[in-house]
């Protein structure tokens, strides 16, 4: 069963997983399971 996960990526410590902040709480996803990444850039930094 595939599930769409939406959240904000955070820095991660494991070399094979990404940490995503979601409404349900933090989730660690293996890079192999990531199919699409969108990125928002703060231009006023």
Token pair belonging to 23: 């409404």
Mean pLDDT over 16-31 rounds to: 85
Report the greatest alpha carbon distance in the chain. 40
Cα 40 versus chain centre, distance? 13
Residue 36 resides in a domain: yes
Domain around 26? 1-40
Q: What is the pLDDT of residue 24?
A: 86
- Residue 15 belongs to some domain of the structure: yes
Residue 45 lies in a domain: no
* Total structural domains within the chain: 1
3-state DSSP assignment of residue 5:
coil
Q: Is residue 34 one of the residues assigned to a domain?
A: yes
pLDDT confidence bin for 2, thresholds 50/70/90: low
Residue 33 in this model has a pLDDT that exceeds 80? yes
Q: Where are the alpha helices (DSSP H) in the chain?
A: none
Question: Percent of the chain beyond pLDDT 90?
Answer: 0
Kindly tell me if the per-residue pLDDT of 21 is higher than 80.
Answer: yes
Residue 2 lies in a domain: yes
Greater model confidence, 16 or 12 = 16
């Amino acid at each position: 069963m595939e599930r769409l996960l939406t959240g904000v990526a955070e820095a991660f410590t494991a070399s094979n997983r990404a940490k995503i902040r979601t409404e349900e709480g933090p989730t660690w996803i293996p890079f192999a399971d990531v199919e699409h990444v969108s990125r928002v850039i703060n231009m006023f930094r």
